Structure 1
Amino acid sequence: MEWRDTGILLGTRKHGETSLVLDAFTPNHGRHAGVLRGGVSRKHTPHLQPGGQLDLSWRARLEDQLGIYTVEPLRSRAAVAMADRLALAGLNAVVALLGFCLPDRAPYPTLYKQTEDLLDLLGQTDIWPLAYLRWEMTLLEQMGFGLDLNACAVTGANDHLAFISPRTGRAVTASGAGEWVDKLLPLPPVMLGDSPRDELEILTALKTTGHFIENHLATSLGNKPLPTARAAFVDRVELMTHP
Protein backbone atom coordinates (compact mmCIF):
# COMPACT_ATOMS: atom_id res chain seq x y z
CA MET A 1 0.00 0.00 0.00
CA GLU A 2 1.28 3.45 -0.89
CA TRP A 3 -0.07 6.98 -1.40
CA ARG A 4 1.06 10.58 -1.60
CA ASP A 5 -0.83 13.60 -0.26
CA THR A 6 -0.37 16.98 1.34
CA GLY A 7 -1.07 17.33 5.03
CA ILE A 8 -1.27 19.67 8.02
CA LEU A 9 0.79 18.39 10.93
CA LEU A 10 -1.30 18.01 14.09
CA GLY A 11 1.42 16.63 16.34
CA THR A 12 4.25 14.17 16.88
CA ARG A 13 5.31 11.60 19.45
CA LYS A 14 8.52 9.70 20.01
CA HIS A 15 8.87 6.25 18.47
CA GLY A 16 11.97 4.44 19.57
CA GLU A 17 15.24 6.32 19.87
CA THR A 18 15.36 8.30 16.65
CA SER A 19 11.92 8.13 15.01
CA LEU A 20 8.65 10.00 15.40
CA VAL A 21 5.03 9.14 14.78
CA LEU A 22 3.49 11.97 12.77
CA ASP A 23 -0.21 12.74 13.17
CA ALA A 24 -1.34 14.62 10.04
CA PHE A 25 -4.63 15.84 8.57
CA THR A 26 -4.77 15.22 4.82
CA PRO A 27 -7.48 16.10 2.27
CA ASN A 28 -7.75 12.67 0.68
CA HIS A 29 -6.83 10.29 3.50
CA GLY A 30 -8.15 12.18 6.51
CA ARG A 31 -6.30 12.10 9.78
CA HIS A 32 -3.48 9.65 9.26
CA ALA A 33 -0.50 8.60 11.34
CA GLY A 34 2.81 7.15 10.23
CA VAL A 35 6.38 6.69 11.39
CA LEU A 36 9.05 9.10 10.21
CA ARG A 37 12.41 7.40 10.56
CA GLY A 38 15.07 9.75 11.84
CA GLY A 39 12.37 12.27 12.73
CA VAL A 40 14.35 13.66 15.69
CA SER A 41 17.26 14.64 13.45
CA ARG A 42 18.30 18.22 12.73
CA LYS A 43 17.16 17.72 9.15
CA HIS A 44 13.53 17.15 10.14
CA THR A 45 12.99 18.90 13.48
CA PRO A 46 12.67 22.50 12.17
CA HIS A 47 9.85 21.45 9.79
CA LEU A 48 7.84 19.35 12.22
CA GLN A 49 5.94 22.08 14.03
CA PRO A 50 2.14 21.79 14.51
CA GLY A 51 0.25 23.54 11.73
CA GLY A 52 3.04 23.10 9.20
CA GLN A 53 2.19 21.97 5.68
CA LEU A 54 3.93 18.82 4.47
CA ASP A 55 4.23 16.77 1.30
CA LEU A 56 3.62 13.26 2.63
CA SER A 57 4.32 9.86 1.15
CA TRP A 58 3.04 6.86 3.10
CA ARG A 59 3.64 3.18 2.55
CA ALA A 60 2.92 -0.03 4.41
CA ARG A 61 2.62 -3.70 3.57
CA LEU A 62 -1.00 -3.76 4.76
CA GLU A 63 -3.54 -0.93 4.79
CA ASP A 64 -4.29 -1.19 8.52
CA GLN A 65 -0.63 -0.94 9.58
CA LEU A 66 0.87 2.25 11.01
CA GLY A 67 3.17 2.56 8.01
CA ILE A 68 6.16 4.71 7.17
CA TYR A 69 6.15 8.37 6.18
CA THR A 70 8.62 10.28 4.08
CA VAL A 71 8.10 14.03 4.16
CA GLU A 72 9.09 17.23 2.43
CA PRO A 73 8.25 20.62 3.96
CA LEU A 74 5.86 22.82 1.97
CA ARG A 75 4.98 25.67 4.32
CA SER A 76 5.95 26.52 7.87
CA ARG A 77 3.62 28.61 10.00
CA ALA A 78 5.74 28.57 13.15
CA ALA A 79 7.39 31.97 12.63
CA VAL A 80 4.07 33.76 12.11
CA ALA A 81 2.52 32.03 15.11
CA MET A 82 5.44 32.78 17.42
CA ALA A 83 5.39 36.46 16.46
CA ASP A 84 1.77 37.03 17.54
CA ARG A 85 0.01 35.80 20.69
CA LEU A 86 -3.40 35.60 19.03
CA ALA A 87 -1.94 33.64 16.11
CA LEU A 88 -0.18 31.21 18.44
CA ALA A 89 -3.31 30.68 20.54
CA GLY A 90 -5.40 30.24 17.40
CA LEU A 91 -3.02 27.76 15.82
CA ASN A 92 -2.92 25.74 19.03
CA ALA A 93 -6.72 25.71 19.21
CA VAL A 94 -7.14 24.54 15.62
CA VAL A 95 -4.69 21.63 15.78
CA ALA A 96 -5.93 20.64 19.25
CA LEU A 97 -9.58 20.53 18.18
CA LEU A 98 -8.75 18.56 15.03
CA GLY A 99 -6.76 16.09 17.08
CA PHE A 100 -9.63 15.94 19.56
CA CYS A 101 -12.46 15.10 17.18
CA LEU A 102 -11.20 13.74 13.85
CA PRO A 103 -11.54 9.99 13.43
CA ASP A 104 -8.65 8.10 11.89
CA ARG A 105 -8.45 7.79 8.11
CA ALA A 106 -11.80 9.41 7.28
CA PRO A 107 -11.45 12.17 4.66
CA TYR A 108 -13.04 15.57 5.24
CA PRO A 109 -11.95 17.56 2.18
CA THR A 110 -14.20 20.56 2.90
CA LEU A 111 -12.92 20.88 6.45
CA TYR A 112 -9.35 20.40 5.25
CA LYS A 113 -9.68 23.23 2.70
CA GLN A 114 -11.17 25.61 5.26
CA THR A 115 -8.48 24.67 7.78
CA GLU A 116 -5.74 25.35 5.25
CA ASP A 117 -7.31 28.71 4.33
CA LEU A 118 -7.69 29.65 8.00
CA LEU A 119 -4.08 28.84 8.85
CA ASP A 120 -2.90 30.85 5.86
CA LEU A 121 -4.54 33.89 7.50
CA LEU A 122 -2.44 33.57 10.66
CA GLY A 123 -1.04 36.92 11.72
CA GLN A 124 -3.92 38.92 10.23
CA THR A 125 -5.35 39.87 13.61
CA ASP A 126 -8.13 42.04 12.22
CA ILE A 127 -9.88 39.17 10.42
CA TRP A 128 -8.64 36.01 12.14
CA PRO A 129 -11.18 35.70 15.00
CA LEU A 130 -14.10 35.89 12.55
CA ALA A 131 -12.43 33.42 10.19
CA TYR A 132 -11.87 31.09 13.15
CA LEU A 133 -15.53 31.36 14.19
CA ARG A 134 -16.64 30.34 10.71
CA TRP A 135 -14.16 27.46 10.78
CA GLU A 136 -15.54 26.26 14.10
CA MET A 137 -19.08 26.33 12.69
CA THR A 138 -17.84 24.24 9.76
CA LEU A 139 -16.15 21.85 12.17
CA LEU A 140 -19.46 21.29 13.97
CA GLU A 141 -21.24 20.74 10.66
CA GLN A 142 -18.66 18.29 9.37
CA MET A 143 -18.73 16.33 12.62
CA GLY A 144 -22.53 15.99 12.38
CA PHE A 145 -23.59 18.76 14.75
CA GLY A 146 -24.23 21.63 12.34
CA LEU A 147 -26.34 24.56 13.49
CA ASP A 148 -29.61 25.17 11.61
CA LEU A 149 -29.81 28.95 11.29
CA ASN A 150 -32.10 29.19 8.27
CA ALA A 151 -35.44 29.68 10.01
CA CYS A 152 -37.09 29.82 13.42
CA ALA A 153 -37.80 26.40 14.88
CA VAL A 154 -41.02 27.74 16.43
CA THR A 155 -42.54 30.17 13.91
CA GLY A 156 -40.79 29.25 10.67
CA ALA A 157 -39.79 32.89 10.12
CA ASN A 158 -36.37 33.51 8.61
CA ASP A 159 -35.82 37.04 9.94
CA HIS A 160 -35.23 38.50 13.40
CA LEU A 161 -33.45 35.33 14.49
CA ALA A 162 -32.00 35.98 17.93
CA PHE A 163 -31.44 32.68 19.77
CA ILE A 164 -30.34 29.08 19.31
CA SER A 165 -31.82 26.06 21.03
CA PRO A 166 -29.05 24.49 23.12
CA ARG A 167 -30.60 21.08 22.52
CA THR A 168 -31.31 21.06 18.77
CA GLY A 169 -29.01 23.80 17.42
CA ARG A 170 -31.96 25.42 15.62
CA ALA A 171 -32.49 29.17 15.45
CA VAL A 172 -35.35 30.90 17.27
CA THR A 173 -36.78 34.40 16.84
CA ALA A 174 -37.26 36.76 19.77
CA SER A 175 -41.03 36.44 19.42
CA GLY A 176 -40.84 32.66 19.20
CA ALA A 177 -38.68 32.30 22.31
CA GLY A 178 -41.58 32.89 24.69
CA GLU A 179 -41.17 31.46 28.17
CA TRP A 180 -38.03 29.55 27.13
CA VAL A 181 -36.00 32.69 26.44
CA ASP A 182 -33.81 32.26 29.53
CA LYS A 183 -32.83 28.75 28.46
CA LEU A 184 -31.78 29.67 24.92
CA LEU A 185 -28.30 30.57 23.67
CA PRO A 186 -27.61 33.92 22.01
CA LEU A 187 -27.41 34.04 18.21
CA PRO A 188 -25.35 37.15 17.41
CA PRO A 189 -25.81 38.55 13.89
CA VAL A 190 -22.16 37.79 13.07
CA MET A 191 -23.07 34.09 12.99
CA LEU A 192 -25.57 34.85 10.24
CA GLY A 193 -23.17 37.01 8.25
CA ASP A 194 -25.43 40.00 8.90
CA SER A 195 -22.99 42.34 10.61
CA PRO A 196 -19.44 43.57 10.21
CA ARG A 197 -16.60 42.20 12.29
CA ASP A 198 -17.19 42.90 15.97
CA GLU A 199 -15.05 41.29 18.68
CA LEU A 200 -17.84 41.33 21.28
CA GLU A 201 -20.22 39.55 18.90
CA ILE A 202 -17.50 37.08 17.93
CA LEU A 203 -16.79 36.38 21.59
CA THR A 204 -20.49 35.75 22.24
CA ALA A 205 -20.65 33.50 19.17
CA LEU A 206 -17.64 31.48 20.34
CA LYS A 207 -19.35 30.85 23.65
CA THR A 208 -22.38 29.57 21.73
CA THR A 209 -20.35 27.27 19.47
CA GLY A 210 -18.41 26.20 22.54
CA HIS A 211 -21.63 24.89 24.07
CA PHE A 212 -22.18 22.56 21.13
CA ILE A 213 -18.56 21.44 21.03
CA GLU A 214 -18.59 20.61 24.74
CA ASN A 215 -22.13 19.30 25.19
CA HIS A 216 -22.77 17.60 21.85
CA LEU A 217 -19.51 16.84 20.05
CA ALA A 218 -17.48 15.92 23.13
CA THR A 219 -20.40 13.89 24.51
CA SER A 220 -20.48 11.85 21.29
CA LEU A 221 -16.80 11.09 21.80
CA GLY A 222 -17.32 9.64 25.26
CA ASN A 223 -17.29 12.92 27.20
CA LYS A 224 -13.64 13.53 26.51
CA PRO A 225 -12.44 16.78 28.13
CA LEU A 226 -12.06 19.63 25.67
CA PRO A 227 -8.52 20.71 24.80
CA THR A 228 -7.49 23.61 27.01
CA ALA A 229 -6.09 25.32 23.92
CA ARG A 230 -9.59 26.34 22.84
CA ALA A 231 -10.33 28.12 26.13
CA ALA A 232 -6.95 29.84 25.89
CA PHE A 233 -7.83 31.16 22.43
CA VAL A 234 -11.25 32.42 23.60
CA ASP A 235 -9.49 34.20 26.48
CA ARG A 236 -7.15 35.83 23.96
CA VAL A 237 -10.11 37.03 21.88
CA GLU A 238 -11.72 38.40 25.04
CA LEU A 239 -8.61 40.48 25.70
CA MET A 240 -9.17 42.12 22.30
CA THR A 241 -12.51 43.46 23.58
CA HIS A 242 -10.72 45.43 26.31
CA PRO A 243 -8.21 47.63 24.48
Structure 2
Amino acid sequence: MASLTADAIVCAVRAHGEHGAILRALTREAGLVAGYVRGGRSRRLRPILMPGNLVALELRARTEDQLAGATAELLASRAPLLAEPLPSAAIDWATSLTAATLPESQSYPMLYDALAGLLDAIGVAPSARQWAAALARYELLLLAELGFGLDLDVCVVTGSANGLAFVSPKSGGAVCEAAAAGYEARLLPLPPFLRGGDPPSTMGDALAGLAITGLFLDRDLLEGRNRELLGVRARLIDRLNRAVA
Protein backbone atom coordinates (compact mmCIF):
# COMPACT_ATOMS: atom_id res chain seq x y z
CA MET A 1 0.00 0.00 0.00
CA ALA A 2 1.38 3.38 -1.03
CA SER A 3 1.14 5.99 1.69
CA LEU A 4 2.07 9.57 2.46
CA THR A 5 1.93 11.67 5.60
CA ALA A 6 2.79 15.34 5.21
CA ASP A 7 1.73 18.91 5.88
CA ALA A 8 -0.16 20.16 2.84
CA ILE A 9 -1.79 23.30 1.49
CA VAL A 10 -5.33 22.68 0.25
CA CYS A 11 -5.52 23.83 -3.37
CA ALA A 12 -8.77 22.43 -4.75
CA VAL A 13 -11.75 20.37 -3.58
CA ARG A 14 -14.27 18.78 -5.92
CA ALA A 15 -17.45 16.97 -4.94
CA HIS A 16 -17.39 13.25 -5.65
CA GLY A 17 -20.41 11.05 -5.11
CA GLU A 18 -23.12 11.94 -2.64
CA HIS A 19 -20.96 12.85 0.34
CA GLY A 20 -17.29 12.56 -0.64
CA ALA A 21 -14.75 14.96 -2.13
CA ILE A 22 -11.55 14.74 -4.13
CA LEU A 23 -8.85 16.84 -2.53
CA ARG A 24 -5.83 18.25 -4.35
CA ALA A 25 -3.15 19.64 -2.08
CA LEU A 26 0.46 20.79 -2.35
CA THR A 27 3.10 19.16 -0.16
CA ARG A 28 6.71 20.25 0.10
CA GLU A 29 8.40 17.00 -0.85
CA ALA A 30 5.77 15.03 -2.80
CA GLY A 31 4.41 18.00 -4.73
CA LEU A 32 0.77 18.16 -5.78
CA VAL A 33 -1.18 15.10 -4.60
CA ALA A 34 -4.79 13.98 -4.82
CA GLY A 35 -7.00 11.81 -2.64
CA TYR A 36 -10.59 10.90 -1.93
CA VAL A 37 -11.94 12.17 1.38
CA ARG A 38 -14.86 10.13 2.68
CA GLY A 39 -17.51 12.51 3.99
CA GLY A 40 -15.53 15.44 2.60
CA ARG A 41 -18.72 17.45 2.07
CA SER A 42 -19.91 17.01 5.64
CA ARG A 43 -20.44 19.90 8.02
CA ARG A 44 -17.43 18.74 10.04
CA LEU A 45 -14.96 18.48 7.16
CA ARG A 46 -15.99 21.40 4.92
CA PRO A 47 -14.23 23.99 7.15
CA ILE A 48 -11.07 21.88 7.01
CA LEU A 49 -11.06 21.29 3.26
CA MET A 50 -11.00 24.96 2.27
CA PRO A 51 -8.47 26.29 -0.28
CA GLY A 52 -5.53 27.92 1.45
CA ASN A 53 -5.83 25.90 4.66
CA LEU A 54 -2.79 24.05 5.97
CA VAL A 55 -3.62 20.47 6.92
CA ALA A 56 -1.91 17.36 8.22
CA LEU A 57 -2.60 15.06 5.28
CA GLU A 58 -2.52 11.28 5.18
CA LEU A 59 -2.90 9.36 1.91
CA ARG A 60 -3.23 5.60 1.55
CA ALA A 61 -3.65 3.60 -1.67
CA ARG A 62 -3.41 -0.11 -2.47
CA THR A 63 -1.54 0.55 -5.72
CA GLU A 64 0.31 3.47 -7.27
CA ASP A 65 -2.40 3.81 -9.94
CA GLN A 66 -5.31 3.93 -7.51
CA LEU A 67 -6.73 7.20 -6.21
CA ALA A 68 -5.66 7.28 -2.60
CA GLY A 69 -7.98 7.58 0.32
CA ALA A 70 -7.24 10.77 2.26
CA THR A 71 -7.74 12.12 5.75
CA ALA A 72 -6.91 15.68 6.81
CA GLU A 73 -6.56 17.44 10.15
CA LEU A 74 -6.56 21.23 10.31
CA LEU A 75 -3.25 22.91 11.19
CA ALA A 76 -3.95 26.51 10.11
CA SER A 77 -7.20 28.00 8.83
CA ARG A 78 -7.59 30.77 6.24
CA ALA A 79 -11.36 30.82 6.75
CA PRO A 80 -11.49 34.37 8.19
CA LEU A 81 -9.77 35.68 5.06
CA LEU A 82 -12.30 34.00 2.79
CA ALA A 83 -14.97 36.32 4.20
CA GLU A 84 -13.11 39.35 2.78
CA PRO A 85 -13.51 39.91 -0.99
CA LEU A 86 -9.94 40.89 -1.87
CA PRO A 87 -8.03 38.28 0.20
CA SER A 88 -10.58 35.66 -0.81
CA ALA A 89 -10.04 36.40 -4.51
CA ALA A 90 -6.26 36.18 -4.07
CA ILE A 91 -6.42 32.82 -2.27
CA ASP A 92 -8.87 31.47 -4.84
CA TRP A 93 -6.57 32.45 -7.70
CA ALA A 94 -3.27 31.28 -6.19
CA THR A 95 -4.59 27.87 -5.14
CA SER A 96 -6.58 27.31 -8.34
CA LEU A 97 -3.56 28.19 -10.47
CA THR A 98 -1.40 25.77 -8.50
CA ALA A 99 -3.88 22.91 -8.77
CA ALA A 100 -4.45 23.47 -12.49
CA THR A 101 -0.87 23.78 -13.70
CA LEU A 102 1.38 21.58 -11.58
CA PRO A 103 1.85 17.94 -12.58
CA GLU A 104 1.05 15.53 -9.76
CA SER A 105 3.66 13.88 -7.56
CA GLN A 106 6.60 16.03 -8.63
CA SER A 107 8.49 17.85 -5.90
CA TYR A 108 8.51 21.66 -6.01
CA PRO A 109 9.80 22.68 -2.58
CA MET A 110 10.45 26.28 -3.63
CA LEU A 111 6.88 26.63 -4.87
CA TYR A 112 5.53 25.14 -1.65
CA ASP A 113 7.53 27.62 0.42
CA ALA A 114 6.53 30.52 -1.84
CA LEU A 115 2.83 29.64 -1.72
CA ALA A 116 2.94 29.26 2.06
CA GLY A 117 4.66 32.65 2.30
CA LEU A 118 2.12 34.25 -0.03
CA LEU A 119 -0.81 32.93 2.01
CA ASP A 120 0.81 34.19 5.20
CA ALA A 121 1.34 37.61 3.60
CA ILE A 122 -2.31 37.80 2.54
CA GLY A 123 -3.23 37.30 6.17
CA VAL A 124 -0.81 39.69 7.86
CA ALA A 125 0.40 42.30 5.35
CA PRO A 126 -0.70 45.83 6.31
CA SER A 127 -1.81 46.54 2.74
CA ALA A 128 -2.65 44.59 -0.39
CA ARG A 129 0.42 46.09 -2.07
CA GLN A 130 2.77 43.79 -0.16
CA TRP A 131 0.97 40.57 -0.91
CA ALA A 132 0.24 41.60 -4.52
CA ALA A 133 4.01 41.77 -4.99
CA ALA A 134 4.37 38.34 -3.36
CA LEU A 135 1.74 37.00 -5.76
CA ALA A 136 3.65 38.35 -8.77
CA ARG A 137 6.84 36.71 -7.48
CA TYR A 138 4.96 33.43 -6.97
CA GLU A 139 3.64 33.50 -10.52
CA LEU A 140 7.13 34.28 -11.82
CA LEU A 141 8.55 31.31 -9.89
CA LEU A 142 5.75 29.04 -11.14
CA LEU A 143 6.58 29.95 -14.73
CA ALA A 144 10.26 29.22 -14.12
CA GLU A 145 9.63 25.89 -12.36
CA LEU A 146 7.48 24.71 -15.26
CA GLY A 147 10.04 25.65 -17.91
CA PHE A 148 8.76 29.06 -18.96
CA GLY A 149 11.06 31.29 -16.95
CA LEU A 150 11.67 34.91 -17.91
CA ASP A 151 15.21 36.26 -18.31
CA LEU A 152 15.21 39.42 -16.21
CA ASP A 153 18.94 39.48 -15.37
CA VAL A 154 20.38 41.04 -18.52
CA CYS A 155 19.13 43.00 -21.51
CA VAL A 156 18.02 40.67 -24.29
CA VAL A 157 19.36 43.17 -26.85
CA THR A 158 22.69 44.35 -25.42
CA GLY A 159 23.53 41.74 -22.80
CA SER A 160 24.01 44.49 -20.20
CA ALA A 161 22.70 44.17 -16.66
CA ASN A 162 22.43 47.96 -16.28
CA GLY A 163 19.35 50.14 -16.71
CA LEU A 164 16.87 47.30 -17.11
CA ALA A 165 13.46 48.95 -17.39
CA PHE A 166 11.22 46.87 -19.67
CA VAL A 167 10.26 43.33 -20.63
CA SER A 168 9.76 42.12 -24.18
CA PRO A 169 6.33 40.47 -24.54
CA LYS A 170 7.76 38.26 -27.31
CA SER A 171 10.96 36.92 -25.76
CA GLY A 172 10.25 37.31 -22.05
CA GLY A 173 13.64 38.99 -21.71
CA ALA A 174 14.49 42.24 -19.98
CA VAL A 175 15.30 45.31 -22.09
CA CYS A 176 17.43 48.23 -20.93
CA GLU A 177 16.35 51.84 -21.39
CA ALA A 178 18.89 52.54 -24.12
CA ALA A 179 17.81 49.59 -26.26
CA ALA A 180 14.12 50.37 -25.69
CA ALA A 181 14.33 53.91 -27.06
CA GLY A 182 11.51 54.42 -29.56
CA TYR A 183 9.91 51.06 -28.75
CA GLU A 184 8.64 51.72 -25.23
CA ALA A 185 4.98 51.39 -26.24
CA ARG A 186 5.58 47.82 -27.41
CA LEU A 187 7.21 46.76 -24.15
CA LEU A 188 6.06 46.14 -20.60
CA PRO A 189 7.44 48.28 -17.75
CA LEU A 190 9.68 46.21 -15.47
CA PRO A 191 9.26 47.11 -11.76
CA PRO A 192 12.52 46.58 -9.79
CA PHE A 193 10.90 44.33 -7.18
CA LEU A 194 10.32 41.62 -9.79
CA ARG A 195 14.10 41.23 -10.09
CA GLY A 196 14.51 40.79 -6.34
CA GLY A 197 14.75 44.46 -5.41
CA ASP A 198 12.97 46.25 -2.58
CA PRO A 199 9.20 45.79 -2.20
CA PRO A 200 7.15 48.06 -4.49
CA SER A 201 6.45 51.52 -3.14
CA THR A 202 3.11 51.78 -4.95
CA MET A 203 0.31 49.47 -5.96
CA GLY A 204 1.00 50.58 -9.52
CA ASP A 205 4.38 48.84 -9.40
CA ALA A 206 2.80 45.68 -7.99
CA LEU A 207 0.19 45.72 -10.76
CA ALA A 208 2.94 46.25 -13.35
CA GLY A 209 4.58 43.07 -12.08
CA LEU A 210 1.28 41.20 -12.27
CA ALA A 211 0.75 42.46 -15.82
CA ILE A 212 4.03 40.81 -16.85
CA THR A 213 3.37 37.48 -15.18
CA GLY A 214 -0.25 37.48 -16.35
CA LEU A 215 0.79 37.83 -19.99
CA PHE A 216 3.07 34.81 -19.86
CA LEU A 217 0.70 32.69 -17.77
CA ASP A 218 -1.93 33.31 -20.44
CA ARG A 219 0.45 32.53 -23.29
CA ASP A 220 2.36 29.55 -21.91
CA LEU A 221 0.35 27.77 -19.21
CA LEU A 222 -3.39 28.40 -19.25
CA GLU A 223 -4.52 26.40 -22.24
CA GLY A 224 -7.70 24.48 -22.94
CA ARG A 225 -10.05 24.12 -20.01
CA ASN A 226 -7.64 26.02 -17.77
CA ARG A 227 -8.37 29.23 -19.68
CA GLU A 228 -11.47 29.70 -17.55
CA LEU A 229 -9.06 30.52 -14.72
CA LEU A 230 -8.23 33.77 -16.48
CA GLY A 231 -11.62 35.01 -15.33
CA VAL A 232 -10.66 34.30 -11.72
CA ARG A 233 -7.47 36.30 -12.18
CA ALA A 234 -9.26 39.13 -14.00
CA ARG A 235 -11.65 39.55 -11.06
CA LEU A 236 -8.70 39.71 -8.68
CA ILE A 237 -6.87 42.32 -10.77
CA ASP A 238 -10.08 44.35 -11.04
CA ARG A 239 -10.42 44.37 -7.25
CA LEU A 240 -6.79 45.38 -6.84
CA ASN A 241 -7.29 48.24 -9.27
CA ARG A 242 -10.37 49.38 -7.38
CA ALA A 243 -8.39 49.24 -4.14
CA VAL A 244 -6.05 51.84 -5.65
CA ALA A 245 -8.83 54.14 -6.86
Is this a same-fold pair by TM over 0.5? Answer: yes
CA separation of 1:185 and 1:194: change in aligned 2, threshold 3 A: same
| One-letter code aligned to 2:168 | S
Matched residue SS, 1:122: helix
Separation in structure 2 between the aligned mates of residue 94 and residue 125 of structure 1, nearest angstrom: 19
Q: Deviations over 1:110-154 (max 9, x none)?
A: 101110111012232422112212212111111211221111111
| One-letter code aligned to 1:145 | F
* Alignment partner, residue 219 of structure 2: 215
Alignment of 1:89-238 (within 5 A): 89-123=89-123, 124-126=125-127, 127-178=130-181, 180-192=183-195, 193=197, 196-218=200-222, 221-222=223-224, 224-227=226-229, 228-238=231-241
Between stretches 116-125 and 203-212, larger displacement belongs to 116-125
Matched residue SS, 1:72: strand
Matched residue SS, 1:146: coil
CA separation of 1:14 and 1:134: change in aligned 2, threshold 3 A: same
| One-letter code aligned to 1:175 | A
Matched residue SS, 2:170: coil
CA separation of 1:195 and 1:23: change in aligned 2, threshold 3 A: closer
CA separation of 1:223 and 1:92: change in aligned 2, threshold 3 A: closer
TM-score (norm 2): 0.90
Between stretches 231-240 and 123-132, larger displacement belongs to 123-132
Separation in structure 1 between the aligned mates of residue 200 and residue 232 of structure 2, nearest angstrom: 26
Shift of the alpha carbon at 1:206? Answer: 1.0
In the alignment, is residue 74 of structure 1 matched against residue 75 of structure 2? Answer: yes
TM-score (norm 1): 0.91
Check the 8 A contact 1:60/1:67 in 2, yes or no. Answer: yes
Shift of the alpha carbon at 1:183? Answer: 2.6
Between the two proteins, the alignment pairs up a number of residues equal to 239
Between stretches 68-77 and 96-105, larger displacement belongs to 96-105
Separation in structure 2 between the aligned mates of residue 38 and residue 196 of structure 1, nearest angstrom: 44
Check the 8 A contact 1:214/1:226 in 2, yes or no. Answer: no
Matched residue SS, 1:73: strand
Shift of the alpha carbon at 1:22? Answer: 0.9
Shift of the alpha carbon at 1:41? Answer: 2.3
Separation in structure 2 between the aligned mates of residue 105 and residue 155 of structure 1, nearest angstrom: 40
Shift of the alpha carbon at 1:196? Answer: 3.9
Separation in structure 2 between the aligned mates of residue 73 and residue 26 of structure 1, nearest angstrom: 14
Separation in structure 1 between the aligned mates of residue 4 and residue 143 of structure 2, nearest angstrom: 29
Check the 8 A contact 1:100/1:226 in 2, yes or no. Answer: no
Q: Which runs of 5+ in 1 are unaligned?
A: none
Check the 8 A contact 2:192/2:198 in 1, yes or no. Answer: yes
Percent identity over the alignment?
Answer: 38
Shift of the alpha carbon at 1:35? Answer: 0.7
* Alignment partner, residue 9 of structure 2: 8
Check the 8 A contact 2:133/2:200 in 1, yes or no. Answer: no
Check the 8 A contact 2:140/2:213 in 1, yes or no. Answer: yes
Separation in structure 1 between the aligned mates of residue 184 and residue 156 of structure 2, nearest angstrom: 13
Check the 8 A contact 1:81/1:122 in 2, yes or no. Answer: no
CA separation of 1:121 and 1:196: change in aligned 2, threshold 3 A: closer
Shift of the alpha carbon at 1:223? Answer: 7.7
Task: Quote the RMSD (CA, aligned, Å).
Answer: 1.8
Separation in structure 1 between the aligned mates of residue 189 and residue 167 of structure 2, nearest angstrom: 6
Check the 8 A contact 2:133/2:199 in 1, yes or no. Answer: no
Shift of the alpha carbon at 1:93? Answer: 1.1
Q: Deviations over 1:64-90 (max 9, x none)?
A: 2101011111111011231x3221111
Check the 8 A contact 2:35/2:68 in 1, yes or no. Answer: yes
Check the 8 A contact 1:13/1:22 in 2, yes or no. Answer: yes
